[in-house]
Structure formats: structure tokens, C-alpha cells
Structure 1
Amino acid sequence: MTPPEAALDTRGTKPPAVLSCPQITTLRHRADFLRAARALRQGTQGMLVQARCRRDNDPTIRVGYTCSKKIGNAVTRNRAKRRLRSVAAEVLTEKARPGWDYVLVGRPGVTVNRDYTDLLGDLNYALRKLHAGQDQ
């Protein structure tokens, strides 16, 4: 049985439009984090952003988050990562390039206490600098 959304339209019209934003997934493997650490990086006041082009013809954007024990105890580290995830969800859907890996690294004493709009500006600035002069 064919699902209703996959059924052919008898009037000859086009199928419904598909969202054009690339899929964003989370980095899980240590090797991916290490590859990103060897590639491009851009520091800002609120975070460090590492980025690399995978060159594997997969349009998926992958993003990872890391906060060391220098940030503070577990509660503080988790708060910093939550803030980084929120900033990434807002900015990367618009500014990230398909086929790239990004790692957002929290900074001690800053990522947790910095104003949220400043964190948004930090990530926008970092992406602009990382992709300046790069081919699309």
C-alpha cells in the first residue's frame, strides 16, 4: 500500500516543496573532534570555533560541543553546552556550509556568563572569518 503523501497527483501538479535547509547532526566520535581540531579555528570572546570541510559530498552539517573541566563543575559545564547548543541551533541553520564539521569549545568563565546576544554575535563573527576566502 502506498502512503498518502507518496501517491501520485492525478492533476499533474508538482509534488510539495521540500525544505532546502541541510540536515544538522551531532558529532559523536572522538576521531571527528580530533580532525576538526587539526583544521581551521577561530577564537572569539565567548567560544572557540573549529571547522573543517569533509569533502565527502554529504550535505549534512555536523556540529560538536566540548567544555573542559576548566569551565567548572558538571552543572556549569552542562549549562555552557546547553548555551552553545542553543546558539548553534539559531546560527548554523542559516550560516553554516553543507559538508562541514563544526566544534564549539566553551571558554572558562565566559561562555556561561556572557550575554546570549553576544554569544550569537560571536558565532556569526567566527563563521564569517572561517569562511572568508573559502570556496562555496
Structure 2
Amino acid sequence: MADDKTPADKPTVGRLKSRPQFLAVREGERRKGPFFQLEVLDRKAPEDPARVGFTVTKKHGNAVERNRMRRRLKEAVRLSAAFAMQPGHDYVVVARREVLGASFEALSKALGDRIQSKPKPKRPPAGSRNE
């Protein structure tokens, strides 16, 4: 019998819970958005489900405001962005204060856009031209 909590058409997304997991993702790619920064790490394990973690620092408000930001981001991932997450990748969403004032539709759209965006090619350092 199918479980009502996890329908077959919804993707399974794991959670990042320990500090070493969050620190490992910091070594990956960073994608900046208007409401958050998204850190992405390809674990090179396409058979594993995607994992996501959320970070809200103390500089963004008191505990009530930080928890509200985290809840909004979790819900945006659950409803819309989980479909865009690629298996074998870890995602950390680092909230900014603007999450509190943003409409939920704008937040969900920005999150989906950042997850689906392709990495930009890195520019060579200044002064390293080959002539």
C-alpha cells in the first residue's frame, strides 16, 4: 500500500544535519539571489537523493524572525524547488533578511531559478593574459 505522506510523483529530498556536511557544501559553487545565497555541491553520486540544509545567522534578527525565515524557505523548497534539485547534489540555502518581506511567490520563483541556473565559467585572474 502506498504511503500517503510521500506520493510517488514527489521527489525525495534529504536533509543536511551535521556541521561537517554544511562545511563540505561551502567548497562548492555559490549562486547569489535577491533573498538568499545558494551553495551547491555535486557529490558525484547520482543514485543518492538530493539533500538540502538551511542557514540563518544571528545578525538577521532574533530567534522568532530567524525561525520564520527558515520556515518560509523550507516551505518554498517543499512546494516548488524540490522538483528542480538534482540527485547527488547538496544544497545549502543561506537566508538574507529580505526573506521576511518577500512575497511567497517571489521567494519560490527565485529559489527555483537559482537551483536551475547553470554555473558561470570562471574568469582568469587579472594580469594572466596570454599574448
Do these two structures clear the TM 0.5 threshold for a shared fold by scoring above it?
yes
- Write the deviation string for residues 14-71 of structure 1: whole angstroms up to 9, x where unpaired: xxxx926542111011111111111011111111111111113442110000100111
Larger gyration radius, structure 1 or structure 2? 1
Partner of 2:111: 123
**Deviation (angstroms), 1:132:** 7.7
TM-score, with length taken from structure 2? 0.79
CA RMSD of aligned residues (A): 2.0
CA contact (8 A) 1:22 1:98 kept: no
Measured in 2, the distance between the counterparts of 1:20 and 1:94 equals 10
- Write the deviation string for residues 46-98 of structure 1: whole angstroms up to 9, x where unpaired: 11111111113442110000100111000000000000100111223311101
In the alignment, structure 1 segments of 5+ residues that lack a partner are 6-17
Residue 82 of structure 1: which of 59, 64, 71 is its match? 71
Secondary structure of 1:103's match? strand
CA contact (8 A) 2:11 2:83 kept: no
TM-score, with length taken from structure 1? 0.76
In the alignment, structure 2 segments of 5+ residues that lack a partner are 2-6, 122-131
Partner of 2:49: 60
Aligned length: 116
